[in-house]
A and B are shown apart, each in its own frame.
Chain A
């Protein structure tokens, strides 16, 4: 009995240590963001300090708000666009039989396996020709057709919507778009949440593409802003930390609200192999 107790304590201790390691950078960002720069080097800061508002002022002065709004715009539009294309194609593939269906499914599955890098150069040239570089559209367009979202929606729709329900709606004289919007979409809220959280995260964290297509500070997204942080706030480390904390904040919130859907999306396909 005693041995069991010790074992239990050891297990908890190990898990707590790992959790602390996971949390450490967050602690650094959120706690150190409330310190005055000079204080940071006096030793390890533990508690919140009172310099938060001063740091906030410095942070906000550097065009940060603009970049923040850019990021929100990019992620929100990407999520909406990706939801629209994935729900429609998912519905089309899961609930209809038609010529060419197998080929389209194959395209989606192959798309899952292609690394995006092979299209980057062509994509950037395309954006240059369309005069879309240095606009936020250049980092949104890649998310419009996301093979993962399409595949996930297709799988989900296959399992969750009974054909009888659709037949009933059809007999009642509903048009197809109306069926999709009024009957199907309310039934697939979990899948919508999953795709929305994942696409939000991916587009929010995207770094390489904006690095290539966005060269003006006014159109920067947050990852670009962060990578220039050392330039933007010079030696003001407190302000830098606060900027990092603020930029991680939205994904933290979204993750905490939707962690269930998140995990569902991440683990999709792993069990089946």
Chain B
């Protein structure tokens, strides 16, 4: 076979752009993470000091990690379970499946910033709809500061994530359920299994890969949470603009990263180190969940 230049030429544009806008910045970030650098004053080499400081001295970093995990711990199970049930209801639906699927998918495509804004409006202390409904129904005696208390803020952020990602989960589940051969469902119904029994004993085990996929992608997305919590605290009531919400309770990892490198501080080297630690955490979590799931397969 003669040497062909074309495949190389075809790969070149992507590889060039990729090297320029991803690989190089990535390496440069790592390089910077070993320096004390604020973008203005001359940088000087500090080795792994940034990493050590983050992991041992920066309490806000651990708090941010905790918040991220907490919010994920609230939103992820709800999304996975509720998504499964709704997807199954839709799957069994004779009419209107497509319509419901499209409608439930809409939140996923909405600009996250707009969602944060809307939620900050709904839960606003003074003018929010949520308070006025609760007071109207007599559940609350007076307006509650939803966005000023650590736990209610976290729950609201989790709620935003659930609201936004539910349609995504439903869609992924649905495509998984459609991929299972029809005979499986027929066999189950001939054997007299009820719809829900079919779901738990037949569909869920067959959807194992889909579930793992959803778990890992939702987790990666969860670690990168940024737009919604930020907007919740800078949207409707711009006066209350603050970092991380009440008592830093919704400060997520990426928010911390952003704030240290481009927000209240410009410690670029430090920020780069946070990004790399985050990368390691995400990688480790994905790997662990992948290994755990494939180990179970072997045992079975």
CB 8 Å contact bits of A78-96 with B (1 = contact, 0 = none): 0001001110110111001
CB 8 Å contact bits of B87-131 with A (1 = contact, 0 = none): 001101100000011111111011111110110011000010100
For the complex, is B190 an interface residue (Cβ under 8 Å from A)? no
Contact B21 A142 (CB under 8 A): yes
Contact B113 A226 (CB under 8 A): yes
Chain B interface size band reads 35 or more
Most chain A CB within 10 A, of B7, B12, B179, is at B7
Measured between alpha carbons, how far is A28 from B107 in the docked complex, in Å? Answer: 13
Contact B111 A41 (CB under 8 A): no
Provide the residues of chain A in CB contact with B93, threshold 8 Å: 11, 15
Nearest-CB residue, chain B, relative to A142: B21
- Interface members, chain A 217-237 (any B CB < 8 Å): 222-223, 226-227, 229-231, 237
Contact B275 A247 (CB under 8 A): no
Contact B261 A29 (CB under 8 A): no
Contact A122 B17 (CB under 8 A): no
Nearest-CB residue, chain A, relative to B210: A270
Contact B209 A208 (CB under 8 A): no
Contact B4 A98 (CB under 8 A): yes
Provide the residues of chain B in CB contact with A29, threshold 8 Å: 114, 118
- Interface members, chain B 245-269 (any A CB < 8 Å): 254, 257-258, 261-262, 268
Partner of A15, one of B90, B121, B261: B90
For the complex, is B167 an interface residue (Cβ under 8 Å from A)? yes
- A-binding segment of B52-60, B71-79, B139-147, B220-228: B220-228
For the complex, is A207 an interface residue (Cβ under 8 Å from B)? yes
Provide the residues of chain B in CB contact with A96, threshold 8 Å: 4, 6-7, 10
Partner of A141, one of B21, B220, B283: B21
For the complex, is B18 an interface residue (Cβ under 8 Å from A)? yes
- Interface members, chain A 180-196 (any B CB < 8 Å): 180
Measured between alpha carbons, how far is A251 from B39 in the docked complex, in Å? Answer: 36
- Interface members, chain A 116-153 (any B CB < 8 Å): 117-126, 141-142, 144-145, 147, 150
Q: A21-B163, A22-B167, A117-B257 are in contact. List 18 more A-B contacts (CB 8 A).
A: A11-B89, A28-B121, A29-B114, A88-B10, A89-B11, A92-B9, A119-B25, A120-B25, A121-B25, A145-B14, A176-B6, A205-B227, A208-B227, A211-B262, A223-B227, A230-B236, A248-B111, A271-B175
**Chain A interface residues toward B at CB < 8 A:** 11, 14-15, 18-19, 21-23, 25-26, 28-29, 41, 44, 81, 84-86, 88-89, 91-93, 96-98, 101, 104, 107, 111, 113-115, 117-126, 141-142, 144-145, 147, 150, 176, 180, 201, 204-205, 207-208, 211-212, 222-223, 226-227, 229-231, 237, 240, 244, 247-248, 251-252, 255-256, 259, 262-263, 266-267, 269-273
**Chain B interface residues toward A at CB < 8 A:** 1, 4, 6-18, 20-22, 24-32, 39, 86, 89-90, 92-93, 100-107, 109-115, 117-118, 121-122, 127, 129, 163, 166-168, 171-172, 175-176, 179, 209-210, 212-214, 220, 223-224, 226-227, 230-231, 234-238, 254, 257-258, 261-262, 268, 271-272, 275-276, 278-279, 282-283, 286
